[in-house]
Chains A and B, each alone.
Chain A
Amino acid sequence: MTTAAAAVPLTAQAFKTDYRPIWCPGCGDYSVLAAFTKAFAMLELRPENIAVVSGIGCSSRIPAYTSCYGFHGVHGRALAAGTGLKIARPDLTVLVAGGDGDGYSIGGNHFLHSCRRNVDLTYVVMDNHVYGMTKGQPSPTTEPDWDSKLSPGGTGLRTFHPLVIALAAGANFIARAFSGDPNGTAQILAEAIRTPGFSFVEILSPCVTFRPEQRGWKDQVRAAPVAPTDDPARAAKRIMTDDGFNIGVLYKGARKPFQPPVGSGTRLPADLEAEFSI
């Protein structure tokens, strides 16, 4: 904290706006929002120094519900926008948020390359295994036999495993959280934000409208029974073999973030002319 105004830490409430979420009552995303604001308060951040960037979907509505700078872009490209922002403005705390369809399907390529690139930002996926805003179509994390109008009888496709893919692609911090535990989620988010590099936090966040059975997740989740590891092989084994309900930080590496130096060049544009002069 460098300024006098920043000396007094803000409460979580200060990171919320009066603009009301359109999420269904009961939706896990309300608690994720609470966790965001708690994490920001815990880290003693200022809303003007945070940018929340999102794509399209229920969860992608989150930026406007915070008092931070927000960017609600196009479907699947939130990580790209967040990457550009963080590289151009490394002084900001950048969070990219969205859902499983936005991040793993249409935005899958950016997910892979963001893990590889390891820019210092936190990517939060509120995973409810369904496309909510378009009325309940299967997403990459939907079970293969989940029946829907668009894919009657189920897609028959094996589910996407975001955590192990993030690990293989090079994410530096990988955690699973549960929306039903906003304080625990806030702790994980705070650690994700504090950890340099690309931090990936998958939050199980039930969709009470299209997947009402997910209300039962609260009885399935448990704290991961082991401490976080910095060994990718161990992490891979754990993530591959758990049942998807182990909560906590599952991998934490020490890879150097990607950040080209900004503002180090001091030449004037006119200085560049020499190479063209005859």
Chain B
Amino acid sequence: MSPAKPARKIKTRRDAAKRGGPGRKSAGARTGGDRADFLARAWVMEVEAAERYAMLADAMEEHNNRDVAELFRKLARIEQLHADQLAAESPSARPPGLPAGGMRWDEGEEGPETADPGDLHYRMQPYHALAIALACEKRANRFFANYARKARNPAVRKAAGEMAEEEAGHVRLIEDWLKRTPEPVSGCDDDPDPPVLSD
């Protein structure tokens, strides 16, 4: 894919290494446990990603950016579908809630596939949103690939490998999607009106 040309004030692409936690050292892949543990982690990751996309969709809808809202909504549905598939595959995959103490991840403190709300802009274009999604899918792919490499349990290695493949598919999908999406024009985030006063 061609490098995105983000508009002046919109920055949507980041180095994944800078992601999330403020310089927290990665504790190394937490790759112990059995297949059920792995699936639970994967499920939490997908659900968190879905919920975050839904939140971003809400934010864009509230700010009358319908195109991007729809795109985030679509991404939310895809991630939720993914989570549901995992749950269907192994009912034990679905933990009752966020694990006490929160889920720790290799890359930063949020799930590898979870988009950062800080990357949004109310005038952002679908192209920017897809760039965010692409970064998420790449992180997810890297996460599972890492998992597959380091896990000692063969069943986990197999499952993680499959997930990494799946995420790689998503990466390709979004790259194609980006190719079909017009690049943002310069000044797309201009707003002739000043911000409004509220409270």
Contact = CB atoms under 8 A, between A and B. Distances in A.
- Determine direct contact between A and B, CB below 8 Å: yes
Contact of A218 (B22, B60, B120, B197): B22
B182 interface: no
Contact of A30 (B24, B117, B198): B117
Contacts of B122: 24-26
Contact of A208 (B22, B96, B121): B121
Given A42-B98, A44-B100, A135-B194, A215 B118 contact: yes
B79 to A, nearest CB: 13
A183 B63 contact: no
A32 to B, nearest CB: 10
A133 B65 CA distance: 21
B121 A25 contact: yes
A136 B198 CA distance: 12
Given A20-B58, A56-B199, A187-B102, A182 B63 contact: no
A158 interface: no
A154 interface: no
Nearest to A12: B98
Contacts of A186: 102
B110 interface: yes
Contact of A219 (B18, B24, B119, B197): B18
B102 A181 contact: no
Contacts of A206: 118
B198 A181 contact: no
Interface string A60-76: 10000000000000010
Contacts of A92: none
B100 A182 contact: no
Nearest to A216: B11
A34 interface: yes
A31 B199 CA distance: 21
Interface string A201-239: 000001011101001001101110000000000000000
A181 B20 contact: yes
Q: Which of B11, B20, B117 has the most CB of A within 10 A?
A: B117
Contacts of A182: 109-110
A8 B98 contact: no
B198 to A, nearest CB: 5
Contacts of A27: 117
Interface string A95-107: 0000000000000
Given A20-B61, A56-B199, A178-B22, A26 B98 contact: no
B23 interface: yes
B135 interface: no
Nearest to A61: B199
Contacts of B192: none
A237 B37 CA distance: 43
A41 B98 contact: yes
A212 B56 CA distance: 19
Contact of A183 (B102, B120, B124): B102
Contacts of B102: 38, 42, 183, 186-187, 190
Contacts of B121: 25-26, 208
A183 B109 contact: yes
A11 to B, nearest CB: 5
Interface string B98-129: 10111101001110000011111110100000
A270 B110 CA distance: 59
Given A26-B121, A186-B102, A215-B118, 15 more contacts: A12-B97, A21-B58, A25-B120, A28-B118, A30-B59, A30-B120, A31-B118, A42-B101, A180-B20, A180-B116, A180-B118, A181-B110, A184-B20, A187-B109, A190-B102
